Amino acid sequence: MTKRLKKQLETPYEFLRKKDGAEYSPEIIKNWYIARTYVLDRLKDVAFGRNANRRLHVAITSDSDLMLSVARQVALSAHYINYDENDLVKKNNRTLITVVSSDNNIVDKLEREEFLCNLPKYCKLSLEGVMQNKESYIDIEIQVLKEWNTSDDECIVMTEKDVEEFCKSKTHDEIYSIDTRKAVLTGRVYTLGTDFKNLSAEDIYSAKRYTQSLNAFQYYILEEKIEPMMKAKDRQLVVRENLSNIFCSDCFETRAKSVALCGDVDKNVESVWEDCNEVLSKSEHARWVVEKLVMGYRPMTRDEHLYDEQKCLTNLMKQQYRKFLKSNMQDPVHIDLCSYNDLRRINPNDMKYDSFLMLAIPKILKKI
């Protein structure tokens, strides 16, 4: 019988800094905690099977700092396996976030570091019916309206009053701290040894290719003691990586519900996860892209791509150049910020991490 792990409560948002190194205000940090707890609760029962022709629509009915933090959390959390950037029908299943605001400068506010940052620059964005980034591959769409009116009966409406009432029903620790157990175990995916790193990018969705690594992960790596993930001396790159593990693991229960909707009565749960590995992996990349844009990263420019391709003549040179771009906290850049199609062409070796992580989710959930 698997031994249950006690909760490990931490306050990770206090460690995050702005690009210029300045601290975020206590009010903004407070809003992030409230938004996370509220949104994860409101969306806990939302899941779609891989063939569902539906999408989540969330309406944020005001543009206060608290409600824009709620919009930020929806963008971080609402990613589903029925979205496919290459399918004209499934591409319409991207999550729609409607922000109601009469502020003519609302996009500038959305693009502030504490809210959606770089996401509106690259996702589908509608301003009073005028569409920008029409061909975006990103699975989040933002719509700005001056007044709220909709015929969408399935739209989830989030109001400031709802958020305030929700907070009254929770304890201080339930709102202002995060259980980091799942996030710590998620981070251990990247500690696997050379056997995993040396796997080729061929046939990446086949669970059989990861058998040895999954066994090592389940029976050895998951059994190691869980230590607190955030430390005051951590560099900002480490802080952001740890937060990334939190954002990723926040979606595990939704992933599990989606897989359950794809189940076959004649198959065990593990087999269904394996069958869903491709759609799960694509959805995880889509989630990761949104997370990185929200956290202030941007894609490579054309000139940066050319330098990477033409000047970096060895794998070591490429690794060093890409690390240099990623580590610049004033303007962080990541080569994987691209469509899934482009990722396969530009940096296919990273795709196996998504596939392995999706296969590891049920093992992490079982451990927790």
Q: What is the pLDDT of residues 80-94, one digit of tens each?
A: 999 999 999 999 999
- pLDDT higher than 80, residue 43: yes
- pLDDT higher than 90, residue 95: yes
**Among 273, 207, 365, 352, which residue's Cα sits nearest to residue 50?**
273
- What is the distance between the alpha carbons of residues 328 and 5, in angstroms, rounded to a whole number? 36
Whole-model pTM: value is 0.95
pLDDT value for 194: 60
Q: What is the pLDDT of residues 253-268, one digit of tens each?
A: 999 999 999 876 567 7
- What is the distance between the alpha carbons of residues 201 and 117, in angstroms, rounded to a whole number? 32
pLDDT value for 270: 82
DSSP-based three-state secondary structure for 145: strand
Give the rounded percent of residues in the chain with a pLDDT score beyond 90: 82
Q: Where are the alpha helices (DSSP H) in 295-350?
A: 302-310, 315-326, 340-346
HSE value, Cβ hemisphere, 13 Å, CA-based, for 87? 16
pLDDT value for 21: 94
pLDDT band at 193 (very low <50, low <70, confident <90, very high): low
pLDDT value for 1: 46
User: What is the CB neighbour count within 10 angstroms for residue 156?
Assistant: 15
Burial label for 119, CB within 10 Å (0-12, 13-18, 19+), is: buried
144 close to 101: Cβ distance less than 8 angstroms: yes
**Among 44, 50, 36, which residue's Cα sits nearest to residue 281?**
50
35 close to 72: Cβ distance less than 8 angstroms: yes
207 vs 80 pLDDT, higher one: 80
Q: What is the pLDDT of residues 283-307, one digit of tens each?
A: 999 999 999 999 999 999 999 999 9
- What is the distance between the alpha carbons of residues 212 and 292, in angstroms, rounded to a whole number? 30
